[in-house]
Structures are given as structure tokens and as C-alpha cells.
Amino acid sequence: MPSNIKRFEFMNTLLMSLIFMTMTYNMPTLPYATNALEPVISQQTIEFHYGKHLQAYVNNLNSLVPGTEFEGKSVEEIVKTAPDGAVFNNAGQVLNHELYFTQFAPKPAHSEPVGKLAEAIVKDFGSFDNFKKEFTAASVGLFGSGWAWLSVDKSGKLVITKEANGSNPVRAGLKPLLGFDVWEHSYYLDYQNRRADHINALWSIVDWDVVGSRF
């Protein structure tokens, strides 16, 4: 009996090691508790959005990539180069959500950008209020599912883009800084069809130190 137990333990350890080796892509760690963003984003939404939707994208990507030309590449590299299809869709959503969930804080140190990002926003949009209005309009006005992004191009200019479904600005050579998810699963439990209310509420939890560090 003891030998059988040891054999089982060895096989289980080997199996887990093989699974770990093939699980190239991992879930981002939330920098806050699942209930910390309430009432802007409820614990229930975080548990479904992060714990189920994002986990499914990560699992899908880990099952799709092995044995393809994308094996060993970063998520960002895949999003930049993959043709439209399952690999691109899941990689895009992994990248999108990693940036999304790590850009929030329960009590941000600043209510608007500071430093170089603040200067760039004034330069390219006239003021933070103007930028906020344009970004909110892009988020609310995007038809169907997708994302609104603030990105910076290679010349240092800030741009707002609307990305359908799981796409990301890196596909166009841009560097994403701030993204609002307008897929219904990101807000429907809390706001139902009131997308504008959800977008307006998000501004109060944006961690501008994190967003600024991406600039």
C-alpha cells in the first residue's frame, strides 16, 4: 500500500509539473481586495469579470498556443502579430484585462494625472477636463462590445482610440495607458444598461500613478 501511495504522489506531482510547464500565461494579481472598489465596481462583478471571464481567456490562450508559431511569445507579441481568430481574440482580452484591473485603486493618491502625463494631456487635449469628456464620449459611444483606450504613439502624442471586441492599440503600434472596458459583463450586474453611469463612476478609482508609469 505505501508503495502505491508513493507512486500516486509521484504521478500527481509529475502531472502538475507538466501542467505548470504548459501554462505559460497567468492571471494578473489584483492589487486590491475583490470588494475594495465598491460601490463603483461590486465584489460580485470583480468575481465574475476577473475570476471567471478573465480566467477563461487565460485558460483558452494556454490551450491554443502550444504547438503554434506563437509558443514562447509574450501576450503583447501575440496581439501585435496574430491574425484575426481565436488566438488573437483571447490574447487581446488577456492583455486588455491585465492593464484594466491593475489601473484601479480604492483610494487613488490623485484625482487626475500628474507629472509628464498631465503635461502631455494639456498639450494634446487642451485640458484634463477636455480629455475626460472626449474619453467618456468614446467609451459611451462605442457600438457593441469593445474598449476605449488612451495611448501614446511613437512620437509621444496622446491619442484616444475605440477598439472593437478584444483588440488593443498595440496592434496599431501604439502604447496603451488607460483602458475602459465597455463589454456588458464589465458593468451589467451593477449598472444594467446604464453604461454612461458606469463610465462616469470609473474616473473616481483610476490610479493615475499606475497610468502615468506606463507613459
Residue type, 92: G
Q: What is the CATH number of the domain that holds 75?
A: 1.10.287.990
Q: Which domain holds residue 77?
A: 2-27+43-101
**Residue that has been written with the C-alpha cell 506563437 in this structure:** 70
Contacts of 79 (CB under 8 A, 6+ apart): 88, 91, 92, 95, 167, 168, 170, 171
Same domain for 150 and 203, yes or no, is yes
Q: Is the peptide bond before 106 cis (omega within 30 degrees of 0)?
A: no
Q: Which of 56, 54, 98 is nearest to 74 (CA)?
A: 98
Q: Please give the span between the terminal C-alpha atoms of the chain, in angstroms, as a whole number.
A: 60
The Cα 168–Cα 208 span in angstroms is 20
**Percent of the chain whose pLDDT exceeds 70:** 89
- Cell numbers given for 94: 488577456
- Greater confidence (19 vs 149) lies with 149
**Residue that has been written with the C-alpha cell 477636455 in this structure:** 130
Judge whether residue 142 has pLDDT over 50: yes
Same domain for 96 and 12, yes or no, is yes
**Percent of the chain whose pLDDT exceeds 90:** 89
The greatest distance separating any two alpha carbons of the chain, rounded to the nearest whole angstrom, comes to: 76
Judge whether residue 18 has pLDDT over 90: no
Query: Domain count of the chain?
Result: 2
Question: 22 lies in a domain?
Answer: yes
Judge whether residue 5 has pLDDT over 90: no
DSSP 146-215: EEEEEEE-TTS-EEEEEEETT--GGGGT-EEEEEEE-SGGGTHHHHTT-HHHHHHHHGGGB-HHHHHHT-
**In the prediction, which pLDDT does 24 show?**
85
**Each residue's pLDDT tens digit, 22-81:** 548 999 999 999 999 999 999 999 999 999 999 999 999 999 999 999 999 999 999 999
3-state secondary structure of 144: coil
Same domain for 157 and 205, yes or no, is yes
pTM to 2 decimal places: 0.87
Q: What is the mean pLDDT of the chain?
A: 92
The Cα 169–Cα 167 span in angstroms is 7
The average pLDDT across 93-101 equals: 98
Residue type, 113: P
Neighbour order of strands in the sheet with 158-164: 158-164, 146-152, 175-181
Same domain for 195 and 122, yes or no, is yes
**In the prediction, which pLDDT does 155 show?**
96
